[in-house]
Amino acid sequence: MTQSSESDLGSVSGSGKMRTYTAKQGDTLEAIAAYFYGSEVQRQRLIDDNPDFANLQPGDSVPAGTVLQVGEDPERGDAVASASEDA
């Protein structure tokens, strides 16, 4: 993964547990969860990593420019490539 890339939703920086996402206008936690974790129901993972957004109701927009933690965590089942893995 590159250190910074653009998605259809916003901008992604970093990798592993330090990965962040900068929201664009109209993003919702459900859409962000679906993009990163494959399902809208993973919204709670974003709330766990960003407790300031616990009051957002399903479908509410995240303010544009907000930086969210969306780390990959092997202990939660995320696949994080190890730097020592051989191709």
4-73, what's its fold?
Membrane-bound Lytic Murein Transglycosylase D; Chain A (3.10.350)
Residue 62: pLDDT over 60? yes
- Residue-wise pLDDT for 70-85, tens only, equals 988 777 766 654 443 4
Buried b (16+ CB within 10 A) or exposed e, 11-28: ebebeeeebbbbbbeebb
- Residue-wise pLDDT for 21-38, tens only, equals 999 999 999 999 999 888
Tokens 């399902």, residue located: 39
Domain extents in the chain: 4-73
